[in-house]
């Protein structure tokens, strides 16, 4: 496989191919996921929970994100590497966001992701205009879990849905090259995906997004607590981690995951 570029991801999206993404935090998994055909590796700040054992992503620092981004970039040969800007590293000013994004890009990220809508539009424009591919993240935005009042589905009532949709359109207009939608009703995610020309990657957002993402440790069945309903354990029935990841890629590509009856809202 040739290295994925934004151009190639856009071509795949344009011909209706579903995009596959998993979180990844180290070089060994980066190699395994890359060889199994995962399109995008997200160095997610979920590493605060999955690797560090914290109860949210809030404690994660930029230095930690840069370290893990470097590890993943070392192991990935062809996958598109996205680094999460952690809590507090982009909220202060557009200039702060540029400095933080620079640290992740220099560590090997090809795109950075930041959470939130409305106020983030100017930041996304600022970074995009300066040559940094940006992925937005709307719906349940874990860095705001304390403000949101818990891990709950977003955009349920009509007003919240309209705001989410406006935020998504504004991010795309500002130059975001990709958007993650987390924990939103299937119908809302489908409507936003139809309206935007950029790829929309869903997690707990139904089968109609342009692609899917899961936390690696969740889809390998390693989550300690009861995982959220949108997770499927791909280790079940797989003989190896590589096989589980190949089955995930296959299930996203042929749109058999997520299953509306099991994994959606
Ligand atoms: O950090 C992360 O794992 C994420 C995904 C859940 C989208 O942001
Ligand atoms: Na994240």
What is the reported pTM?
A: 0.98
204 lines ligand 1 (CB under 6 A): no
Residue whose CA is closest, atom 1 of ligand 1? 44
pLDDT tier at 186 (50, 70, 90 boundaries)? very high
Helix (H) or strand (E) holding 212: strand 211-214
Q: Kindly report the backbone phi and psi dihedral angles of residue 55, in degrees, each rounded to the nearest multiple of 5, phi listed first.
A: -90, -5
Indicate the CATH number for domain 6-253.
3.20.20.60
- Token pair for 213: 């993402």
The predicted structure's pLDDT at residue 261: 86
Spans of all domains in the chain: 6-253
Assess contact for 176 and 198: CB atoms under 8 A.
yes
46 lines ligand 1 (CB under 6 A): yes
Assess contact for 2 and 8: CB atoms under 8 A.
yes
* Mean pLDDT on 26-38: 98
Can 182 be counted among the known catalytic residues?
Answer: yes
Q: Which residues of 90-127 are buried (b: 16+ CB within 10 A; e: fewer)?
A: bbeeeeebbebbbbbbebbbbbbbbbbbeebbebbbbb
* Mean pLDDT on 180-200: 98
Res 173 pLDDT > 80? yes
Question: Cα(153) to centroid of ligand 2, in Å?
Answer: 16
Res 134 pLDDT > 80? yes
- pLDDT tens digits for 84-105? 999 999 999 999 999 999 999 9
């Amino acid at each position: 496989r040739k290295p994925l570029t934004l151009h190639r991801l856009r071509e795949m999206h344009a011909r209706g191919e579903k995009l596959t993404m998993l979180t990844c935090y180290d070089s060994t998994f980066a190699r395994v996921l890359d060889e199994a055909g995962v399109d995008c590796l997200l160095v997610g700040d979920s590493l605060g929970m999955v690797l560090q054992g914290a109860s949210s992503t809030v404690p994660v620092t930029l230095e930690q994100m840069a370290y893990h981004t470097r590890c993943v970039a070392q192991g990935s040969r062809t996958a598109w590497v996205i680094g999460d800007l952690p809590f507090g590293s982009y909220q202060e000013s557009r200039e702060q966001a540029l400095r933080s994004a620079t640290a992740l890009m220099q560590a090997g990220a090809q795109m950075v992701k930041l959470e939130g809508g409305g106020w983030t539009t100017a930041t996304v424009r600022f970074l995009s205009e300066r040559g940094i591919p940006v992925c937005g993240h709307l719906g349940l935005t874990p860095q705001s879990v304390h403000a949101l009042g818990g891990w709950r589905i977003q955009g349920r009532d009509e007003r919240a849905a309209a705001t989410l949709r406006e935020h998504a359109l504004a991010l795309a207009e500002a130059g975001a090259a990709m958007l993650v939608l987390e924990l939103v009703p299937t119908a809302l995610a489908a409507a936003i995906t139809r309206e935007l020309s950029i790829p929309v990657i869903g997690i707990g957002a139904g089968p109609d997004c342009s692609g899917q993402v899961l936390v690696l440790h969740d889809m390998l069945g390693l989550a300690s607590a009861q995982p959220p309903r949108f997770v499927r354990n791909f280790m079940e029935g797989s003989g190896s981690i590589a096989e589980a990841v190949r089955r995930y890629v296959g299930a996203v590509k042929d749109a058999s995951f997520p299953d509306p009856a099991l994994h959606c809202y």
